[in-house]
Amino acid sequence: MHPLVPTNRSERVHDVDAAIRQTDSDAALARLSAVRKGYLNDRFISSLVPRAQLQPLRPPLINTGTYVRSEAIDRLVEQWLELSKTEGQLCQIVSLGAGSDTRFWRLMDGPWKDQIGAYFELDFPDVTLKKAMAIRNPRSGLSTTLGHSELDLGGQALHSSRYHLLPCDLRNPPADIFPGLFKEYLSPALPTLLLFECVLVYMSPEASSTLIQWFVDFFSPSTRTPSPGTLGCIVYEMFGLEDAFGQVMMNNLRARNVSLPGAKPYPSLESLPARFLRHGFTSAKALTLRNIRSNYIEPSELERISSLEMLDEVEELNLVLEHYAITWGMKASSTATVSPWIEWGLRPVKQA
C-alpha cells in the first residue's frame, strides 16, 4: 500500500523535515560503521544509535569519506581550542544542527576538557527530545561524562554546567528565538566556534545568511562588551552540484524528498569562502575532501586506513570527495586581536 500523499502545507513541511532528520541518522550510522571498522575512535556513538549492535556496516567508500570529514573537522576544532588556551581564555562551541554528534563527549574525554567554557547543541525539537532521553538513560554512560543535568521545555532541552541542548528550527528568524534559548549561557566575551555539518545546504541562502549575521552581530563590539571574543565558523557540506555527478547526487536526494536550496550559490570551491567574507570575516578558506585526503593527512595514516578494507571504487570515491568541502572562517573583533587567530586552519603535510 502506498503512503498517503500530504494534503496540506503543514503536513508537507513535516514530511520534508522528516527526510532531513533522516540524513542525521544516515550520518550516525556511517560514523558507527567507521568506528567498528577501526577508522575512528568514538566510544559514545553507539549510545546514540538505536540497536547499534545490529546495524550493518557501510561500504569502504562511505567509511573513508566519514574518516576524512571527521579527521579534518577534529583538527580544526582542536586548533581553535589550542589558540583559546594560548590567549588564556575558555572557548565556547555552538553546534547548529548537531543531531547525533558526539563531539562534546569526545572532547570531555580528552585533553581539552578544561578548555571548554560552554558547549551548545541546537536541532529540531524531535531530535533534541530523543538525544535528551539518550543522555539521561543510565545505561548510555553519557550522563556520567555530563555530570548533573536538568531537563527543560518539556524534555526537549537539557542543561548542565557546561553543556546545553536546545530545540529550535534554524530556518526561523534567529532574533526571534535565540535570545530566549541562549539566555545568559552564551557569552559574547569568549572566543566562540560555530559548527555547521551538512546543515546550511538544507536551508535557503537567505535564512543561512541571517543565521550567520546574528552571530556576527552578537560578537561585535558594544557598550556591554567592548572587546568581544573572536568568532570562528566551520561549514561542511556538498557543493558544485551543477555537473553530471552533482546532478546524480541531487536526483538521489530528491527521490528521498530532500532538496538542497543552499547549494545553488556555491557552484565552485572558490565561491565557498564568500559565505563568510560577505559578513565581514577577517579570513576564510575552503578545501575539498579529496584535497584534504591527498595533501592534509599523514602518509602513515593513509596507509593505516588503506589496510582496513579493500577499496575498489577509487574513482568514484574521488568524485564524491570532490563534491564535499570544509570551509572555515575567522572574524576578529579588531585589528589588534587578529593574531594569533589568523594562523587557524588546516596545514598540508609532507607527503612521502
pLDDT > 80? residue 146: yes
- Binning pLDDT at 50, 70 and 90, where does residue 183 land? very high
pLDDT of amino acid 10: 43
Contacts of residue 226, Cβ cutoff 8 Å, sequence gap at least 6: none
Cα–Cα distance for residue pair 58/74, rounded to 1 Å:
21
Cα–Cα distance for residue pair 38/309, rounded to 1 Å:
10
Mean per-residue pLDDT, 289-307: 96
- Binning pLDDT at 50, 70 and 90, where does residue 338 land? confident
65 in Cβ contact with 125 (< 8 Å): no
pLDDT of amino acid 350: 82
Tell me the CA distances in angstroms from 344 to 18, 66, 117, 188, one per residue in order.
Answer: 36, 23, 20, 20
Backbone angles phi, psi at 196, to 5 degrees: -125, 100
Mean per-residue pLDDT, 104-115: 96
Cα–Cα distance for residue pair 63/40, rounded to 1 Å:
9
Whole-number average pLDDT of the chain? 93
pLDDT of amino acid 13: 46
Over residues 227-280, the pLDDT tens digits come to 999 999 999 999 999 999 999 999 999 998 999 999 999 999 999 999 999 999
Pairing of strands 231-238, 192-197: parallel
The pTM is what? 0.94
pLDDT of amino acid 334: 83
Tell me the β-bridge partners of 163: 119
Contacts of residue 112, Cβ cutoff 8 Å, sequence gap at least 6: 78, 81
pLDDT > 90? residue 179: yes
Q: Lowest-confidence range among 10-14, 167-171, 320-324, 326-330?
A: 10-14
- Binning pLDDT at 50, 70 and 90, where does residue 349 land? very high
Over residues 21-47, the pLDDT tens digits come to 888 999 999 999 999 999 999 999 999
- Binning pLDDT at 50, 70 and 90, where does residue 15 land? low
